[in-house]
Chain A
Amino acid sequence: MADVITGNGKKLVGTSVRRKEDPDVLLGRETYTADLKLPGMVYAAIFRSPYAHALLKRVDLRRALALPGVIFGITGDSLPDFLKPMSLSPYRNVEWAELKVKNPQMNYFPHVCLARERVRFVGEPVAAVVATDPYVAEDALELIEAEFDPLPVVTSVEQALQPDAPLLYEEWGDNVQLRFKVSGGDVERAFREADLVVKETVISSRYTGTPMEPRVVIGRYSAEENYLEVWDTTQRTHSVSMFVRNSIDLPDLQVRVITLRVGGGFGQKRGFYSEEVLIPLLSILTHRPVKWVETRSEHMVGTSHGRQQVHQMEAAVKRDGTVLALRDRILADLGVAYPTSGTISVMTTLMFIPGAYRIQNYEGELLGVNTNKTVYGSHRAFGKADAAYAIERFMDVIAQELGMDPAELRLKNFIQPHEFPYLCVTGSRYDSGNYPQAFQDALKRAGNEKWREEQKRGWQQGRYLGIGVSLVIEPNSASKVATYNAGHYGVRMQMDPTGGVTVFCAGNDEGQGHGTAIGQLVADELGVEFDRVHTVEGDSLLCPFGSGSYSARFAVVGTSAVIMASRRLKEKLVRIAAQVLGVGVEEVRAEGGAVEVLKDPSRRLSYQQIAQVAYFEVLRLPAGVEPGLEVLYYYIDSNLQAADLRKVPDERGRYAVYSTFPYAANVAVVEVDVETGRVRLLEYVSTDDCGRMINPAEVVSQYMGAFAHGLGGAFYEELVYDEGGQPLAQNFKDYLVPTALEVPRVKLAHMETPNPFTPGGFKGASETGAVGPTPTIANAVEDALRPLGVKLRRIPITPAIVWEAIQKAKGLK
């Protein structure tokens, strides 16, 4: 399918080793959380608000509780006192006021797992019932009598910011949850010195990730042990165990969160949701294991959304195309103020507006605005897709204003290869890259010049072809110094007495193939066989701490921890072997699953023999060496440690937030049917650089999955709300996810610029595939319609939108 350039020859890392995970997943043998059935298990169903904004007058469960099979019911008013507001803070009992800092200015609402007094979006949990059968639980929902007093609804940022707008949280005095500013350089001066100032508004629509497996939570509480087990499809096993522990304030409660194989995350499972408190709570209150399986309809309203932003952009430009400075004012539609990472996600957008360009004068301002919609949370490429979309669209607008080829404008402004590591104006240090080379490669492979000629011919014949280009960066390994995700990752590695290796890892696997990658890494580092490496993840008690599996943490800090732990284990093996062989450690080496004497390789001990000494013949161990073969390694991201801007954030809002910077250069060729607004994607070319590749086939398959989602954002996926705040896309009939029929072949090639800051040279792969399509395709569509003077300022680019934009340009509307 794709043209893969691999850099590495002999070792497993860098080769397309077949995934360990596939047989069980593909043959239906894998255990997912919804498959679990525990003795005495009961089933919860959640009654959700049908109103976007209303006072909650009364919730009456009596008829529901009378239904045979229903064993319990709960409402916001009947929640026990030990339940505390939900928070993403890892600290317990932190006063809300303490969390409120000056920049960002953040408002908090002490949210609990069921609505009290007021509902603020369609889908908000209002009550829950528990029954011995999931059908009965669903029947019981229909017997709940709830009375609402509808309030005026806010559905857009423009409306929310009106002085007389209805308020979601009256105590705040407005609908702004977040205010944040970042700046660097001398923006005023750059604008004074500019030949030209270009302004444009770029808008993106609300869409979301739709993992095949929706969310599932099971709670099992043992009163005798005061021990709560939670099975949860989260991307953040350890974090959720802290959050749950902080929300359920029972003295000495011990919480264990277990994450089994997860059927896709895409950021949506990175949130902290009401159900993650509610279901464990129901188990505590009923003394039964309680299971909740999210339906697709619930997922569309109850799981976080993303992407809805308005960018008011300004650039100071020289005639020759040099972009001297940028300004952006973002209005982000955050939905309700639930405790999710939506706020951080839109801050991330603000940080990466300068993108791949050498722009050292930048001023960004962000208003995170609340509306009566589902909460904004993390969503694939966490805020960075939005930044790339805005800047890459804006670069085309600038090019058009200058009468310059959009490719030429980009080449003029790219950060140059010799400038890496490059300190971005907002505080992160870009690790490495070669943007001009990737960009030229993509243009060449797409046949840019040939298409330009064909475009001219086409325009004369009423055929509308367009070529769009972009270079998107997709920063990875999000970290924030002095928080629980400060770029660290724990790995415990253990060699058993037979020589097999088990790796206990901080994260969990939503489909990325961690077990395969770990097998490759450990095989290369230790010289054990790939098949003898086993991975255990997703257990907050068994596995060392880590903030979760998102932002390509595994590929960056996770793999680094695995490599370093392997080296530490190898050291111990060598030390024991040298002692047993009666030589110094410098006289032996580890090779092919054994330790041998350098001068006489016939004198060797296999790992299994060494392991037997370590476990069974402990008196033969060198002095000071503990029995067993078990090591622990916590890796800390070195690029963040070395960053200049340690303050979080500094006085101008800057801070180092990401440590690796994968990127992709993209070219799209489209044809537009101007009668119907239909756009056909004729060609999509991408040159992708995720640093050194661990498993090229895995990179390609993840890229293609991401690309499908990006294509969805460009053409299909949109969470539309009507004026009353009713979501119009609550299932896959109305919310369109591209399938194999919509996803064309991508001409994908890889460049490998190793990351100098990680031991493996990895950067985290593939989310560039989700970021590239929206700006590249939008640029191409606008390019196709240039003779008509059509402006497209929003996604998704549906036939209706294109046709209406054409009518507008023709002055017909």
Chain B
Amino acid sequence: MFPARFNYYRAESLPEVLDLLARHGSEGKILAGGQSVIPLMKLRLASPAVLIDINRVRELQAIAGDERGGLRIGALTRHHHMEIKKWPRSLALLMDAARDIGDPQVRNLGTVGGALAEVDPAGDWGPVMLSLGARVRAVSPKGERTLPIDELFVDAFTTCLAEDELLREVEIPPLSDGTGTAYLKMERKAGDFAIASAAVRVNRSPDGRCQDVGIGLGGVGLVPLRARGAEDLLRGSNLEEELIREAEESVRKECEPLADIRGSVEFKRQVVGVLFRRALKIALRRAQGEEVEAGHV
């Protein structure tokens, strides 16, 4: 496999990245973990004239708590780091997602920021971050901005970021007590992209009412989707079995899958509904303090 000719720059610091983006943003691509861009270049499906390697930029690598009790995940955080980190039980879905991304080689190099900026319709971090109501911080030579993750995804493999803008970090807002989360995906085989996936964050008050819920879906649209209709159905309810079934149907209606080698539109709607329901049940048990394995579908 022989990529086309390209120039390679390695940045040592964030200002250097921004400088390189200012000069080469229009013809260049950022090289983070390289788990998408390098295969694409080898197949000559992508032939960027310039690669800007950000792997040495320390500012992008940390996972840190913020002052409000939320989390900041640096764009260069490897999937593997997400996998081995001791997350609080309320964030168990981060582990659910991280451990099944690609294979060990992909997880060792691939990054959270890179995966989000790739906007692969079947990527894992998109639905997870949607369910958490995350925000992303982007930086460019002109300054910084923060935007809701929903706005990042414009189209398949397309973000709203400008050519000279870098996704710097993801901010996960603080989660209130009694929150449970889960992420389930169905793949054809280990390491494959998802046929469909569902991420659920649910918060239940002591009297059993659903105070808040976030639902992210993967593999069933051009971009990761948020199932707002199903969220609205469940929010404020007592999460009765019938209502959950109704939400499951809503999830199926809200998504917009495309038929492909992984299955028909009907099949993907079926699967994403099942995944949502099963993920919700796991999240609810976790919210009660139970240790539950997400398992494999």
The reply to whether chain A is a binding partner of chain B is: yes
Q: Hey, which bits of chain A sit against chain B, CB under 8 A?
A: 134-135, 137-139, 142, 295-297, 673, 675-678, 715-716, 720, 728-729, 731, 733-734, 736, 738-739, 741-742, 798-800, 803-804, 807, 813
* Given known contacts A716-B188, A729-B261, A803 and B4 CB-to-CB distance under 8 angstroms: no
* Given known contacts A676-B274, A731-B43, A799 and B261 CB-to-CB distance under 8 angstroms: no
Quick one: which of A675, A677, A739 contacts B191, CB cutoff 8 A?
A739
| Residues on the A chain within 8 Å of B1, using CB | 295-296
With a 10 A CB-CB cut-off, give which of B195, B267, B271 has the most chain A CB atoms: B267
Q: How far is the CA of A741 from the CA of B191 in the complex (A)?
A: 10
Task: Report if B262 contacts A (CB, 8 A).
Answer: yes
Number of interface residues of B (CB under 8 A): 25
Known: A675-B274, A716-B188. 10 other contacts (CB 8 A): A135-B5, A137-B2, A138-B4, A296-B1, A676-B274, A678-B297, A720-B261, A739-B190, A799-B195, A807-B266
Q: List 20 A-B contacts (CB under 8 A).
A: A139-B4, A295-B1, A675-B270, A675-B274, A676-B270, A676-B297, A678-B186, A733-B193, A738-B189, A739-B191, A741-B189, A741-B191, A742-B189, A798-B263, A799-B267, A799-B271, A800-B195, A803-B267, A803-B271, A804-B266
* Given known contacts A673-B297, A678-B297, A138 and B2 CB-to-CB distance under 8 angstroms: yes
Quick one: which of B2, B192, B193, B262 contacts A800, CB cutoff 8 A?
B262
Task: Report if B264 contacts A (CB, 8 A).
Answer: yes
| Residues on the A chain within 8 Å of B2, using CB | 134-135, 137-138
Q: How far is the CA of A135 from the CA of B4 in the complex (A)?
A: 7
| Residues on the B chain within 8 Å of A139, using CB | 4-5
Chain B residue nearest to A738 (CB atoms) is: B189
Chain B residue nearest to A675 (CB atoms) is: B274
B38 CB to nearest chain A CB (Å): 13
Chain B residue nearest to A802 (CB atoms) is: B267
| Residues on the B chain within 8 Å of A742, using CB | 189-190
| Residues on the B chain within 8 Å of A137, using CB | 2
Chain A residue nearest to B268 (CB atoms) is: A800
Q: How far is the CA of A736 from the CA of B266 in the complex (A)?
A: 22
* Given known contacts A139-B4, A731-B43, A800 and B297 CB-to-CB distance under 8 angstroms: no
* Given known contacts A676-B271, A729-B261, A799 and B186 CB-to-CB distance under 8 angstroms: yes
Across the A-B interface, give the 6 residue pairs with the lowest CB-CB distance, nearest first: A800-B263, A138-B2, A741-B190, A800-B267, A135-B2, A675-B274
Q: How far is the CA of A678 from the CA of B186 in the complex (A)?
A: 9
Residue pair A728, B261 in contact (C-beta under 8 Å): yes
B158 CB to nearest chain A CB (Å): 20
| Residues on the B chain within 8 Å of A715, using CB | 189
| Residues on the B chain within 8 Å of A803, using CB | 267, 270-271
- In the complex, which residues 1-43 of chain B have their Cβ closer than 8 Å to any Cβ of chain A? 1-2, 4-5, 43
Residue pair B190, A798 in contact (C-beta under 8 Å): no
B4 CB to nearest chain A CB (Å): 7
| Residues on the A chain within 8 Å of B264, using CB | 800, 804
Interface string of B230-251 (1 = CB under 8 A from A): 0000000000000000000000
- In the complex, which residues 184-231 of chain B have their Cβ closer than 8 Å to any Cβ of chain A? 186, 188-193, 195
Q: How far is the CA of A799 from the CA of B196 in the complex (A)?
A: 12
Quick one: which of A138, A677, A720, A739 contacts B189, CB cutoff 8 A?
A739
Residue pair B186, A734 in contact (C-beta under 8 Å): no
Q: How far is the CA of A803 from the CA of B272 in the complex (A)?
A: 13
B45 CB to nearest chain A CB (Å): 10
Q: How far is the CA of A734 from the CA of B267 in the complex (A)?
A: 18
| Residues on the B chain within 8 Å of A135, using CB | 2, 5
Residue pair B267, A804 in contact (C-beta under 8 Å): yes
Chain B residue nearest to A296 (CB atoms) is: B1
Q: How far is the CA of A441 from the CA of B266 in the complex (A)?
A: 43
| Residues on the A chain within 8 Å of B188, using CB | 716, 736, 798-799
Q: How far is the CA of A729 from the CA of B260 in the complex (A)?
A: 11
| Residues on the B chain within 8 Å of A738, using CB | 189
A302 CB to nearest chain B CB (Å): 15
B229 CB to nearest chain A CB (Å): 21
Q: How far is the CA of A675 from the CA of B297 in the complex (A)?
A: 10
B220 CB to nearest chain A CB (Å): 14
Interface string of B268-288 (1 = CB under 8 A from A): 001100100000000000000
A556 CB to nearest chain B CB (Å): 35
Residue pair B192, A736 in contact (C-beta under 8 Å): yes
Q: How far is the CA of A124 from the CA of B51 in the complex (A)?
A: 33
B296 CB to nearest chain A CB (Å): 9
Q: How far is the CA of A138 from the CA of B47 in the complex (A)?
A: 13
| Residues on the A chain within 8 Å of B191, using CB | 739, 741
Chain B residue nearest to A133 (CB atoms) is: B2
Q: How far is the CA of A687 from the CA of B270 in the complex (A)?
A: 39
Q: How far is the CA of A803 from the CA of B186 in the complex (A)?
A: 14
Q: How far is the CA of A720 from the CA of B261 in the complex (A)?
A: 8
| Residues on the A chain within 8 Å of B103, using CB | 739
Q: How far is the CA of A800 from the CA of B293 in the complex (A)?
A: 25
Q: How far is the CA of A803 from the CA of B190 in the complex (A)?
A: 20
Chain B residue nearest to A812 (CB atoms) is: B266
Q: How far is the CA of A675 from the CA of B190 in the complex (A)?
A: 20
Chain A residue nearest to B270 (CB atoms) is: A803
Chain A residue nearest to B275 (CB atoms) is: A676
| Residues on the A chain within 8 Å of B186, using CB | 676, 678, 799
Q: How far is the CA of A296 from the CA of B264 in the complex (A)?
A: 27
Q: How far is the CA of A673 from the CA of B189 in the complex (A)?
A: 15
| Residues on the B chain within 8 Å of A729, using CB | 261
With a 10 A CB-CB cut-off, give which of A678, A716, A738 has the most chain B CB atoms: A678
Interface string of B72-87 (1 = CB under 8 A from A): 0000000000000000
Q: How far is the CA of A510 from the CA of B163 in the complex (A)?
A: 50
| Residues on the B chain within 8 Å of A677, using CB | 267
B233 CB to nearest chain A CB (Å): 20
| Residues on the B chain within 8 Å of A731, using CB | 43
Quick one: which of A676, A678, A734 contacts B261, CB cutoff 8 A?
A734
Chain A residue nearest to B188 (CB atoms) is: A736
A43 CB to nearest chain B CB (Å): 10
Q: How far is the CA of A138 from the CA of B190 in the complex (A)?
A: 32
Chain B residue nearest to A716 (CB atoms) is: B189
Q: How far is the CA of A731 from the CA of B42 in the complex (A)?
A: 12
| Residues on the B chain within 8 Å of A739, using CB | 103, 189-191
Q: How far is the CA of A351 from the CA of B195 in the complex (A)?
A: 40
| Residues on the B chain within 8 Å of A720, using CB | 261
Q: How far is the CA of A588 from the CA of B267 in the complex (A)?
A: 77
With a 10 A CB-CB cut-off, give which of B4, B5, B103, B271 has the most chain A CB atoms: B271
Q: How far is the CA of A741 from the CA of B99 in the complex (A)?
A: 14
Q: How far is the CA of A295 from the CA of B192 in the complex (A)?
A: 21
Chain A residue nearest to B274 (CB atoms) is: A675
| Residues on the A chain within 8 Å of B195, using CB | 799-800
Chain A residue nearest to B1 (CB atoms) is: A295
Q: How far is the CA of A286 from the CA of B261 in the complex (A)?
A: 43
A721 CB to nearest chain B CB (Å): 11
A285 CB to nearest chain B CB (Å): 23
| Residues on the B chain within 8 Å of A804, using CB | 264, 266-267
Q: How far is the CA of A673 from the CA of B264 in the complex (A)?
A: 18
Residue pair A736, B4 in contact (C-beta under 8 Å): no
B27 CB to nearest chain A CB (Å): 17
Q: How far is the CA of A678 from the CA of B263 in the complex (A)?
A: 13
Q: How far is the CA of A138 from the CA of B193 in the complex (A)?
A: 29
Q: How far is the CA of A733 from the CA of B45 in the complex (A)?
A: 14
| Residues on the B chain within 8 Å of A734, using CB | 261
A103 CB to nearest chain B CB (Å): 40
A292 CB to nearest chain B CB (Å): 13
| Residues on the B chain within 8 Å of A296, using CB | 1
With a 10 A CB-CB cut-off, give which of A137, A297, A729 has the most chain B CB atoms: A297
Q: How far is the CA of A644 from the CA of B1 in the complex (A)?
A: 53
| Residues on the B chain within 8 Å of A736, using CB | 188-189, 192
Interface string of B160-187 (1 = CB under 8 A from A): 0000000000000000000000000010
Interface string of B100-119 (1 = CB under 8 A from A): 00010000000000000000
B297 CB to nearest chain A CB (Å): 6
Chain A residue nearest to B260 (CB atoms) is: A728
With a 10 A CB-CB cut-off, give which of B43, B195, B261 has the most chain A CB atoms: B261
